[in-house]
């Protein structure tokens, strides 16, 4: 290659370098810009769905939830209190001590009389049944105590029932539900050791005149 050709190639190379140098000045590479281009690019294409919440967003949300839950708790408590108050106001066993005492005393005496029986003198028990039983309790009593009355003469049986505890569960509008605990003792005039057993009764009673009569009987022997 002659000297002219060499000079021509050198001139072209110089012009190319100058042109490249101009582009490099207008669009700096990563090294010259301190990495600004490469670090800025990911931020420009970051998904919009992954935006971070403001630091105050979570505490404010929790505060709102706390207030709402507190309000609901207060409302439920007030409702429960109102329901309890209404039920208590309607139950004379919780508000009327005189009426409750009357029911307790009369039902205690009634159970003592109805479930005590002397084979030699059945009249008092029969009279108590006529005076103190009404409605479904008449048939219930016959099923519960009928066998004792039938067997008593042959066995010379004497049955004594003593109420140990009595409590009015519900009292309203001339009706009551009473829990009764009693001990029944059986002995025979022909001899032998007395036998005792505990019993629990739930009694439904209604007020007729001045007398509380037994309208329903459920018993559980123990």
Is residue 133 a part of any domain in this protein?
Answer: yes
pLDDT surpassing 60 at residue 218: yes
Q: Which of the residue ranges 15-19, 137-141, 142-146, 200-204 would you say has the lowest mean pLDDT?
A: 15-19
Average pLDDT over residues 22-48: 43
Is residue 97 a part of any domain in this protein?
Answer: yes
Strand residue runs (E) in the chain: 117-118, 157-172, 175-188, 195-208, 211-221
Residue 217 pairs with which residues in a beta bridge? Answer: 203
Give φ, ψ of 216 to 5 degrees.
Answer: -150, 145
Average pLDDT over residues 158-173: 95
Is residue 55 a part of any domain in this protein?
Answer: no
Extract the tokens encoding 164.
Answer: 């140990």
Is residue 53 a part of any domain in this protein?
Answer: no
Is residue 176 a part of any domain in this protein?
Answer: yes
Q: Which of the residue ranges 124-128, 157-161, 167-171, 189-193 would you say has the lowest mean pLDDT?
A: 189-193
Model confidence at 17, in pLDDT bands (50, 70, 90)? low
Give the model's pLDDT for residue 84: 52
Number of H helices, E strands in the chain: 7, 5
CB 188, CB 156: distance < 8 Å:
yes
Q: State how far the alpha carbon of 156 is from the alpha carbons of 143, 162, 191, 202, in Å.
A: 20, 20, 9, 29
Is residue 129 a part of any domain in this protein?
Answer: yes
Task: Please give the tally of structural domains in the chain.
Answer: 1
Is residue 34 a part of any domain in this protein?
Answer: no
Residue 96 burial (C-beta neighbours within 10 Å; 0-12, 13-18, 19+): middle
Q: Which pLDDT tens digit goes with each residue over 40-78?
A: 444 444 444 444 444 445 555 555 655 555 555 565 555
pLDDT surpassing 60 at residue 198: yes
Q: Which pLDDT tens digit goes with each residue over 104-158?
A: 999 999 999 999 999 999 999 999 999 999 999 999 999 999 999 999 999 999 9
Question: What's 103's domain CATH number?
Answer: 3.10.450.230
Domain encompassing residue 121:
92-221
Is residue 80 a part of any domain in this protein?
Answer: no
């Amino acid at each position: 290659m002659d000297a002219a050709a060499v000079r021509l190639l050198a001139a072209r190379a110089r012009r190319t370098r100058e042109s490249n140098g101009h582009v490099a000045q207008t669009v700096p590479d990563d090294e010259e810009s301190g990495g600004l281009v490469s670090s800025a690019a990911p931020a420009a294409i970051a998904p919009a769905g992954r935006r971070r919440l403001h630091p105050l967003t979570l505490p404010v949300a929790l505060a709102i939830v706390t207030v709402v839950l507190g309000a609901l708790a207060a409302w439920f408590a007030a409702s429960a209190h109102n329901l309890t108050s209404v039920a208590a106001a309607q139950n004379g066993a919780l508000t009327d001590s005189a009426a409750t005492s009357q029911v307790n005393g009369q039902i205690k005496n009634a159970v003592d009389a109805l479930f005590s029986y002397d084979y030699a003198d059945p009249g008092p028990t029969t009279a108590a049944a006529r005076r103190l039983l009404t409605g479904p309790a008449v048939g219930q009593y016959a099923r519960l105590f009928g066998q004792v009355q039938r067997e008593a003469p042959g066995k010379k049986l004497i049955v004594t029932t003593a109420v140990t505890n009595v409590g009015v569960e519900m009292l309203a509008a001339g009706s009551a539900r009473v829990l009764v605990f009693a001990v029944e003792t059986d002995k025979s005039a022909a001899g032998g050791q007395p036998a005792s057993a505990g019993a629990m009764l739930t009694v439904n009673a209604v007020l007729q005149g001045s007398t509380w009569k037994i309208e329903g009987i459920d018993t559980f022997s123990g």
